[in-house]
Structure 1
Amino acid sequence: MNFTGKVVLITGASSGIGAATAVYFASLGAKLSLCGRNVENLNKVADKCESIGKMKPLTVIADITKEEDTKRIMESTIAHYSTLNVLINNAGILETGSIENTSLEQFDRIFNTNVRSLYHLTMLAVPFLIKTEGAIVNVSSVNGLRSFPGLLAYNMSKSAVDQFTNCLALELASKKIRVNSVNPGVIITELQKRGGLDEDAYNKFLDRSNETHPLGRPGNPEEVARTIAFLASDDASFITGVNLPVDGGRHATCLR
């Protein structure tokens, strides 16, 4: 795969899957626009990308739930590079909650981050992607493909991401824009800890993941990053409207 000369915009690039994806695209020669909320982490990722790809990424400190920030992400990217080839909608949050203990505030918080912001940024990106016959890859979850208790709003948000992916694929196919999603299983990042698990609970969660994932382990961010890059590349030129599990077989099991 080769992304030399291609401009790739990645949200949530300051940690986890987003950071790994940024580094991998840098190794493939991409020109990067990296967005995130954590200034220190984002700069570290950008420095690593520069050391690997020999090009300094554009960094945009932004909160994608704020409309003015989302607009600034796109405006800054186009002002800097004048074009856009690939959009990676990666930013997202996870929170636990069932119908008995959730709240409308939680629902709004999760959907604003995982769905509404993605919807908005993609709206802004499409006119530029049409010009380049570009690609979109949305980072969803195995939770979008099957149901798990105690993650109600999160599950619903990722199902919405998958439906968004499929609808866009149909709407934009005539413009030669391909749209796909990846659906990770448990990946070793800070997502679950930020979602409320303490260290002990997180370690037990990872241990359980060895049993619930048929390949016998959770995944790592680099494995998801390589799949994202494939879907965005010319190697996947006849693939669109796919929700692709990167989950060690988790989607195929009956285990909770």
Structure 2
Amino acid sequence: MDFSGKVVLITGASSGIGAATAVYFAKLNATLALVGRNVANLNQVASDCETVGSIKPLILVADVTKEEDNERVIAEVVEKLGKLDVLVNNAGKGASGSIETTTMEQYDDIMRTNVRSVFQLTKLAVPHLIRSKGNVVNVSSVAGQRSFPNFLAYCVSKAAIDQFTRCTALELAPKQVRVNAVNPGVIVTNFHREAGMDEDTYKLYLKRCEETHALGRVGQGSEVAAAIAFLAGENTASFTTGVCLCVDGGKHAMCPR
């Protein structure tokens, strides 16, 4: 794969899957626009990208839950980089909670970050993607395909992203814009810690995941990044749209335990 001359915008690029995806695309010679809230982390990721690639990324400090920030992000990308070829909607968050314990504030927070921001950024990007005949890759989750207790708002948000992916794929296909998603299983990032797990619980969780993933292990960010690049590539997935691709070590296919 080669993304020379392609402009790739990645949200949530300051850590986890987003950071891994940025480095992966840098190796493929993409021109990158990296979006996140943590300036120090973004600078580090940009430095990592420059180490493996040849083009300095554009850093955009923004909060995807703010409409004005999203408008600025798309405008700056097109103004400074000239176009937009690939939008990777990666920014997201998780939180534990059941129907009895999830507050409306928590629910709204999850939906603003995981769904509303994706809707708005995609809507803003569409005119530019039509011009470039580009594509969108949404980062969903196996939780969009499978149901898990005590993670209600997150599961609902990712199921929404899967449906959003399929609907927009159908709407934009006549204009030659592809829309796909990846659905990761458990990936080694700070995601679960940020969702409230302490270190000891997280270690036990990863051990348990050896039984809940068919391949007997959890995944790495670079493995999800490779799937994102595959779906974004003209030479690898030019006839693929509306797909929600599980990158989860077979977790989606296993019976619940």
- Answer yes or no: same fold by TM over 0.5: yes
The residue identity in structure 1 corresponding to 2:33 is: S
**d(CA) in 2 for partners of 1:55, 1:232:** 19
SS at match of 1:150: coil
Tell me the equivalent position of 1:174: 174
SS at match of 1:20: helix
**d(CA) in 1 for partners of 2:36, 2:162:** 22
Tell me the equivalent position of 1:56: 56
SS at match of 2:79: helix
Q: How does 1:134-153 map to 2 (within 5 A)?
A: 134-153=134-153
SS at match of 1:179: strand
Indicate yes or no: 2:191 matched with 1:214. no
Q: Displacement, 1:255?
A: 2.2
**d(CA) in 2 for partners of 1:4, 1:122:** 23
The residue identity in structure 1 corresponding to 2:142 is: V
**d(CA) in 1 for partners of 2:147, 2:77:** 37
**d(CA) in 1 for partners of 2:70, 2:191:** 22
Tell me the equivalent position of 1:246: 247
- Consecutive unaligned residues of structure 1, counting only runs of 5 or more, are none
The residue identity in structure 2 corresponding to 1:193 is: R
Q: How does 1:77-96 map to 2 (within 5 A)?
A: 77-96=77-96
Which deviations, in whole Å up to 9, do the C-alpha atoms of 1:169-217 show, x marking residues without a partner?
Answer: 0000000011000000000000000000000110111001011001000
Q: Displacement, 1:34?
A: 0.3
**d(CA) in 2 for partners of 1:73, 1:217:** 37
SS at match of 2:245: strand
**d(CA) in 2 for partners of 1:208, 1:148:** 15
SS at match of 1:55: coil
Tell me the equivalent position of 2:256: 255
Q: Displacement, 1:254?
A: 1.1
Tell me the equivalent position of 1:42: 42
- Consecutive unaligned residues of structure 2, counting only runs of 5 or more, are none
CA RMSD of superposed structures (Å): 0.6
Query: Among the aligned pairs, what percent are the same residue?
Result: 61
Q: How does 1:109-128 map to 2 (within 5 A)?
A: 109-128=109-128
Poorly superposed stretches of 4+, deviation over 4 Å: none
**d(CA) in 2 for partners of 1:226, 1:80:** 27
Indicate yes or no: 2:7 matched with 1:13. no
Paired residue total:
256
Which deviations, in whole Å up to 9, do the C-alpha atoms of 1:16-74 show, x marking residues without a partner?
Answer: 00000000000001000000011101000001111211111000011100111111111
**d(CA) in 1 for partners of 2:109, 2:170:** 28
SS at match of 2:182: strand
Tell me the equivalent position of 1:164: 164
